Amino acid sequence: MAATLTEDLIQIYDALFAAFGHQHWWPAKTPFETMIGAILTQNVSWTNAARAVRNLEDAGMLDPHLLAATDTADIAPLIVPSRYYNRKAERIREFSRVYVAEFGADPAAMAAVETGELRKRLLALRGFGKETADTILLYACEKPVFVVDAYTRRIFSRYGLLPEGASYDQTQRLFAESLESDAELFNDYHAQIVRLGNTICKKSPLCDRCPIREVCGTLRCAVGRG
């Protein structure tokens, strides 16, 4: 009997969990730090984004009220490791102003907003794409929204579960429609995908080390097996 898509996805997650353990993602001390980290990690590795977060913290600037009131010229030098720092400084200040004005700088008040409405509000912010908005929804607000990134598209198209060039929405539906709507599961599943894509399923993949290579007979990685 052929496995269902749900069973395939659960088997993949279980194999990743067995190989890597729980990822305890997103690494942050507060929800607001997670929100700022989501902006800083746009188009850059988490390592560099984390350095920028720490710079803000060390300068006593990891505070929504301070960031909302600070000139971008004073924010930018602190976030140089994240690249595109002038642009990101503007995004951080604009987001902080909205967070203070509309949510009272209260993560609980922000999380209380209906998911679709909050996503729409975040996407209306300049420089906020779907991945950034969904990262905030999942990791800061604990909403059951599956985050999609380049690793997700790469891995699941290689295994034939997505077509080449699948859109963000198409990729997100693969998980949202096949798995239980569970923020904790979505949280660690996405983190496991990032771990796999960053260490093994690279552009030049290390297929002999892949923990999901033999997870399900219905899956055939186009790169590793032909």
pLDDT in tens, 39-84: 999 999 999 999 999 999 999 999 999 999 999 999 999 999 999 9
Q: Residue 224's pLDDT is what?
A: 66
Of 110-119, 143-152, 179-188, 213-222, the one with minimum mean pLDDT is 213-222
Q: DSSP H helical segments within the chain, as ranges?
A: 5-20, 31-40, 46-58, 64-69, 72-75, 85-103, 107-111, 115-123, 130-135, 150-158, 168-176, 183-199
CATH code where residue 181 lies:
1.10.1670.10
Whether residues 55 and 126 share a domain: the answer is yes
pLDDT given at position 220: 73
Q: What would the mean pLDDT of 140-160 be, rounded to a whole number? A: 96
The pLDDT tens digits of the residues spanning 157-211 come to 999 999 999 999 999 999 999 999 999 999 999 999 999 999 999 999 999 999 9
| pLDDT value at residue 119 | 98
User: What is the per-residue pLDDT for 104?
Assistant: 98
User: Which among 105, 96, 137, 145 has a CA at the least distance from the CA of 118?
Assistant: 137
Classify residue 226: in a domain, yes or no. Answer: no
My answer on whether 122 and 62 are in the same domain is yes
pTM value surpassing 0.85: yes
Reported as a single tens digit per residue, the pLDDT across 84-127 is 999 999 999 999 999 999 999 999 999 999 999 999 999 999 99
* Domain membership of residue 194 as a residue range: 5-24+147-209
Average pLDDT score over the chain: 95
Residue 19 maps to a domain: yes
Residue at which a domain ends, from 140, 174, 191: 140
pLDDT bin (cut points 50, 70, 90) of residue 223 is confident
Report the phi/psi class of residue 167: left, alpha or beta, with left for phi > 0 and alpha for psi in -120 to 50. Answer: beta
Same domain for 51 and 91: yes
Residue 118 sits in the same domain as residue 151: no
Residues 172 and 125 in one domain: no
| Predicted local distance difference test score (pLDDT) of residue 1 | 35
